[in-house]
């Protein structure tokens, strides 16, 4: 058989890498790729490429895609646009190279197209029997307000995905916390679209850097678990564009993910994975997304309608539609081939689906360098990063002076403590994590045993606890103190011990999981969560607070928490789900080895009734009646005082702002806010300066919106002038008449502040 292969080699001088590209014609399809020296070189292409110092890598990728597509049969094309089941649960028939995970698409060896194994990877690789790193939750990451940390977060997970042999990570959740009681709030990045969008873009960049396909999800308006697979989000165009779709727009344009996962729910009557407005009009046409639109697992409901609306990949799919389990749930295998044959799905559309898959694989670097399964995870490196992330994510919510003291309750001075009482929250065993696909299995077993999930429940009800005990870390910090532990079941005994101790540290927990929403933001008791909770946490904290000389509450939660006891405790530390080194990180902050720098990525209400939805809607029609007023915007517009505002977070030092100025560029309209930040305390610390914009009067626009922020680290007594720049588009509103962004004429006021409710923020106005 005559071999007709073309090999193009282009040296990209700007990045000092070599891009080798090869493809073979149909008459050599059976033999597969031959040796490089057997292929004649297309010298015209090679010479032109090598002569250009700035190679257009995207154009070269498009050339490869076209060459590969030209050699593929229809069956091979169909093979690339659907999964073949779920290896992690053994549903489907898989070859040896199919890794345990969420999904698998076989490769085409004769064309050098690799297989794609996918794993859930919200805060680490969610596969069993692998010694992977459980990082702090993504909500904790959001509390760092640190894009560089987010990039390293995505990179760390991608390193472990690739080490194990996975080509795609299914992390990147970006749905806004419109409903903070949502069971997946811990998986997302808070309530603000700019904060969420920029952090997911940074995370995506980190993932891509390791030759792993990054996914962002769940597109879109997938904001609660109740009826999530059948609910219909009723939301107007402006609300969509200025809230959740803005987060996706930033994430897609700046992060350039290879995959966007469409959601289970309907939007205005049309399923997300059949929604041409979302997929074709906005994502692909307006935003220019070149990657794959992938269904959530089981979110496909049709063949022709979904394909023509813009869905490119069905998951989990079926290996063989003759399997009984595939009846009525597989749409992109034989049914898609039939639709292409009869013309209801044009061949050009199937080709576009395949091009997107090939493009994602090539641009990620997977075609040229497929991952090799079976590598060993660098546990030391993973644990070190997990500790850093947890330290930077911890938020100090309150820090007051106990009676008779001249110092705040925190940080603790080990040398001055003779007795410490640690109470509740399984602090003697480990730290809490979330459940569902956002979980990461513990590598050495669950730190807390004895929970029995009901056999009839479709949802696992037992929490995961990592073996990073805060109690042990606290003992190590204060080796000369007497440290005792009470499990919280006997509130009277714990309170009596606290009365005689120098300090009482109460741990409180709130478990969340996919599939289940929280009934309330109140700390769960044995009635609310009988599987993981044996006592009334609020009553315990109240009892201890009544007798303790100094009481500190440490929260491990995936959402805001109500605090009826707040006025009676001296300090509150929000640790979120802090990951595999969480116990150490908590102790580091408690004892002042780390000064807390986290800021809230969502508002903490005083009561559930203060939320836009006093209770979670169980109606199939979920009405977004609050419009643009998500999170802090709601509290501002309705003049409701939150328990703790968006952006709030204390430090062990103090900061002041001065000398604010704001200017807009005459041509672009881009804005730069300048001010001086000073560390006025006695310790080194890191401050996050937040810039909020108040727009010209508008009947539905909230009082202010976050437009930018910057972190600055200062030694005590030092000052630094900082410049915070952001694009004019952050000031735009969505015009439903023209279906476009616009910047209205008028006065814009920019406020540099420590939170959304900072009474001492500095403001400067600019006229547009």
DSSP SS3 for 297:
coil
Q: Give helix 582-590 / helix 470-477 axis angle, nearest 10°.
A: 40
296 is catalytic: yes
Q: Give the separation between CA 49 and CA 18, rounded to whole angstroms.
A: 11
Annotated catalytic residue, options 296, 529, 588, 636: 296
Given the DSSP bridges, would you call strands 671-679 and 719-726 parallel, antiparallel or unpaired? antiparallel
Given the DSSP bridges, would you call strands 213-219 and 259-262 parallel, antiparallel or unpaired? parallel
Q: Give the separation between CA 512 and CA 186, rounded to whole angstroms.
A: 7
- Nearest in space to 281 (alpha carbons), one of 267, 296, 300, 299: 267
Q: Give the separation between CA 188 and CA 177, rounded to whole angstroms.
A: 8
CA triple 477-480-484, angle to 5 deg: 80
- Nearest in space to 5 (alpha carbons), one of 41, 36, 39: 39
> What are residue 690's DSSP bridge partners?
709, 753
- CA distances to 52, 60, 236, 446, 523 from 632, rounded to whole Å, are 51, 46, 20, 37, 22
> What are residue 721's DSSP bridge partners?
676
Backbone phi and psi for residue 640, each to the nearest 5 degrees, phi listed first: -100, 130
Residue showing tokens 């305390």: 681
In 3-state terms the chain splits into helix, strand, coil percentages (rounded to 5) of 30, 25, 50
Q: Which helix (H) or strand (E) holds 375?
A: none
Q: Are 690 and 754 in contact (CB under 8 A)?
A: yes
Residue showing tokens 């080798």: 20
Q: Which helix (H) or strand (E) holds 233?
A: strand 232-234
Residues with Cβ within 8 Å of residue 436, at least 6 apart in sequence: 183, 184, 459, 460, 513, 514, 515
CA-based diameter of the chain, in Å?
Answer: 92
Residues with Cβ within 8 Å of residue 63, at least 6 apart in sequence: 8, 21
Q: Give the separation between CA 210 and CA 212, rounded to whole angstroms.
A: 6
Q: Give the separation between CA 210 and CA 205, rounded to whole angstroms.
A: 9
Q: Are 357 and 108 in contact (CB under 8 A)?
A: no
Alpha helices in 325-449 (DSSP H): 334-342, 347-364, 379-393
Q: Give the separation between CA 363 and CA 61, rounded to whole angstroms.
A: 7
Instruction: Give, as one character, the DSSP assignment of residue 462.
Output: P
Q: Long-range contacts made by residues 297-302, C-beta under 8 angstroms, separation at least 24?
A: 297/86, 297/102, 297/103, 298/229, 298/264, 298/329, 299/229, 299/262, 299/263, 299/264, 299/271, 299/272, 299/273, 300/273, 300/331, 300/332, 301/271, 301/273, 301/274, 301/331, 302/274, 302/331
Backbone phi and psi for residue 123, each to the nearest 5 degrees, phi listed first: -130, 25
Q: Give the separation between CA 150 and CA 753, rounded to whole angstroms.
A: 22
Q: Give the separation between CA 171 and CA 388, rounded to whole angstroms.
A: 20
DSSP string, 122-157: SSS---TT-----PPPHHHHHHHT-HHHHHHHHHHH
- Neighbouring C-beta atoms of residue 444, cutoff 10 Å: 9
Q: Is the dihedral of CA 21, 27, 32, 37 positive or negative?
A: negative
Residues labelled catalytic = 296
């Amino acid at each position: 058989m005559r071999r007709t292969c073309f090999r193009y080699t282009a040296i990209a001088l700007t990045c000092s890498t070599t891009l080798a590209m090869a493809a073979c014609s149909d008459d050599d399809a059976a033999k597969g790729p031959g040796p490089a020296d057997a292929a004649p070189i297309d010298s015209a292409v090679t010479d032109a490429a090598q002569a250009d110092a700035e190679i257009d890598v995207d154009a070269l990728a498009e050339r490869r895609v076209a060459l590969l597509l030209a050699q593929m049969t229809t069956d091979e094309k169909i093979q690339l646009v659907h999964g073949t089941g779920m290896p992690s649960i053994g549903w489907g028939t898989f070859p040896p190279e199919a890794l345990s995970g969420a999904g698998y698409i076989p490769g085409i060896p004769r064309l050098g197209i690799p297989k794609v194994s996918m794993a859930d990877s919200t805060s680490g690789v969610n596969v069993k029997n692998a010694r992977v790193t459980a990082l702090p939750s993504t909500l904790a990451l959001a509390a760092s307000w640190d894009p560089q940390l987010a990039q390293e977060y995505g990179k760390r997970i991608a390193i472990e995905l690739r080490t194990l042999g996975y080509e795609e990570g299914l992390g990147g959740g970006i749905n806004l916390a419109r409903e903070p009681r949502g069971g997946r709030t811990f998986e997302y990045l808070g309530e603000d679209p700019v904060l969420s969008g920029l952090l997911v873009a940074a995370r995506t960049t980190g993932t891509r850097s390791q030759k792993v396909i990054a996914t962002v999800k769940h597109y879109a308006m997938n904001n609660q678990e109740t009826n999530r697979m059948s609910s219909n989000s009723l939301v107007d165009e402006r609300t969509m564009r200025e809230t959740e779709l803005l987060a996706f727009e930033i994430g897609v344009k700046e992060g350039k993910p290879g995959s966007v996962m469409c959601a289970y729910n309907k939007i205005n009557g049309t399923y997300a994975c059949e929604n041409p407005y979302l997929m074709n009009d906005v994502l692909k046409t307006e935003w220019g997304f070149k990657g794959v639109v992938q269904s959530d697992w089981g979110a496909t409901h049709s063949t022709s309608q979904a394909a023509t609306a813009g869905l490119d990949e069905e998951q989990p799919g079926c290996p063989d539609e003759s399997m009984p389990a595939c009846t009525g749930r597989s749409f992109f295998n034989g049914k898609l081939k039939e639709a292409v044959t009869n013309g209801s799905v044009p061949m050009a559309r199937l080709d576009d689906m395949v091009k997107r898959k090939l493009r994602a694989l090539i641009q990620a670097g997977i075609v040229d360098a497929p991952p090799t399964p079976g590598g060993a995870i660098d546990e030391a490196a993973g644990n070190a990063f997990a500790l850093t992330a947890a330290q930077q994510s911890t938020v100090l919510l309150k820090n007051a002076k106990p009676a008779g003291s001249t110092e705040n309750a925190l940080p603790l001075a080990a040398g001055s403590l003779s007795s410490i009482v640690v109470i509740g929250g399984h602090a003697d065993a480990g730290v809490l994590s979330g459940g569902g696909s956002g979980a990461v299995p513990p590598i050495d077993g669950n730190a807390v045993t004895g929970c029995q999930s009901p056999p009839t429940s479709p949802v696992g009800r037992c929490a995961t606890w990592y073996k990073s005990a805060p109690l042990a870390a606290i003992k190590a910090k204060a080796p000369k103190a007497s440290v005792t532990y009470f499990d919280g079941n006997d509130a009277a005994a714990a309170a009596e011990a606290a009365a005689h101790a120098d300090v009482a540290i109460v741990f409180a927990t709130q478990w969340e999981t996919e599939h289940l929403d929280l009934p309330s933001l109140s700390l769960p008791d044995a009635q609310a969560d009988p599987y993981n909770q044996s006592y009334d946490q609020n009553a315990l904290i109240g009892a201890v607070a009544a007798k303790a000389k100094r009481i500190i509450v440490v929260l491990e939660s995936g959402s805001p928490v109500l605090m009826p006891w707040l006025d009676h405790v001296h300090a509150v530390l929000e640790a979120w789900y802090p990951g595999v080194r969480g116990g150490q990180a908590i102790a580091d902050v408690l004892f002042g080895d780390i000064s807390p720098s986290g800021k809230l990525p969502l508002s903490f209400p005083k009561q559930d009734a203060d939320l836009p939805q006093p209770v979670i809607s169980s109606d199939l029609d979920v009405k977004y009646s609050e419009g643009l007023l998500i999170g802090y915007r709601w509290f501002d517009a309705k003049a409701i005082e939150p328990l703790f505002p968006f952006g709030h977070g204390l430090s062990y030092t103090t900061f002041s702002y001065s000398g604010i100025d704001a200017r807009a560029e005459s041509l672009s309209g881009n804005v730069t806010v300048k001010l001086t930040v000073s560390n006025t305390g006695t310790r080194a610390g890191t401050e996050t300066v937040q810039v909020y914009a108040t727009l010209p009067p508008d009947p539905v626009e909230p009082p202010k919106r976050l437009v930018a922020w910057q972190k600055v680290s200062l030694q005590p007594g030092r000052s630094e002038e900082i410049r915070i720049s952001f694009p004019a588009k952050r000031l735009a509103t969505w015009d439903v008449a023209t279906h476009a962004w616009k910047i209205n004429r008028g006065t814009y006021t920019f406020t540099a502040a420590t939170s959304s409710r900072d009474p001492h923020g500095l403001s400067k106005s600019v006229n547009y």
